Chains A and B, each alone.
Chain A
Amino acid sequence: MTTMTEQATQVYAVFIRATPEQVWDAITKPEFTTKYFHGTTIESTFEPGTPYLSVAGEENETVVDGEILESDPPKTLKHTWRALYDPETATEPHSRVTWEIEPQEGGVTKLTVTHDQLEAAPKTAASVAGGWEYILSGLKTLLETGEPLQG
């Protein structure tokens, strides 16, 4: 258990040996998300104003819903986020997730995820703290080795 007070703004970053386009694909294509995002499939056209959905299982249950706020491949993706996988987080208002992709020297790309506007969603804040680091390390492993993380 963490004793960290749940943060209304959370920032996570990872350096990945891949191109910005590869990182963008890993975030936006379902064949990638199933391999590092708790087995979920992303469903979105990535047009601003359209839904951002994360679905899982045989029943295609929606586990996260939101709306695309901004999409600028392969640099920025911004969408709202409500976690439906837990009845307690499902009643909280939407928060916001921003993915920023920046090329670095030496064939490395920096991916930063900022999850903010969590002030009114403390249970969601607690739920995603610890989740993002797992997802980003899984994404890095997948892009660098072609293999999903074990477990």
Chain B
Amino acid sequence: MPTDDDLVFRALADPTRRHLLDRLFERDGRTLTELESELEMTRFGVMKHLRLLEEAGLVVTRREGRQKLHYLNPVPIRLIHDRWIDKYRERQVSALADLKSELEDTA
């Protein structure tokens, strides 16, 4: 069974889906029709990409009257950041700190 991270990385591994996220980043709460009008793609294709983004939790939908509005949800990206970026950045910084103390000790 894929983990939450797998779903997010898979969803982000496609340029059209990243483009959709960027559109929603600029302005949230859009309908399928609005998003579709900005892409050279069939309505069905856009729906498929939005569904994958929704499954990964990167897009959340709300019903407002007859409309289904799509919202960017930044929480999974924050979780990836905390899990995969912060950790390695810390290690890089501590490696530099180690190098500094080693060089200074031998000097």
Minimum CB distance partner of A129 in chain B: B74
Specify which of B25, B28, B29, B60 is in contact with A13 (CB 8 Å cutoff): B60
- A5 and B71 in contact (CB under 8 A), knowing A112-B60, A114-B62, A134-B78? no
Within A1-32, which residues are at the interface with B (CB < 8 Å)? 4-5, 7, 9-15
Asked whether A7 lies within 8 Å of B79 as measured between CB atoms, the reply is no
Minimum CB distance partner of B64 in chain A: A9
Q: Give complex CA distance A12, B60 in Å.
A: 8
The number of A-B residue pairs with CB atoms under 8 Å apart is: 50
Q: Does B26 contact A (CB under 8 A)?
A: yes
Q: Give complex CA distance A136, B71 in Å.
A: 16
Interface of A is mostly: mixed
Q: Give complex CA distance A13, B79 in Å.
A: 12
Asked whether B71 lies within 8 Å of A10 as measured between CB atoms, the reply is yes
Asked whether A137 lies within 8 Å of B82 as measured between CB atoms, the reply is yes
Q: Does A149 contact B (CB under 8 A)?
A: yes
Minimum CB distance partner of B71 in chain A: A11
Binding site for B on A (CB under 8 A): 4-5, 7, 9-15, 112, 114, 130, 132-134, 136-137, 140-141, 149
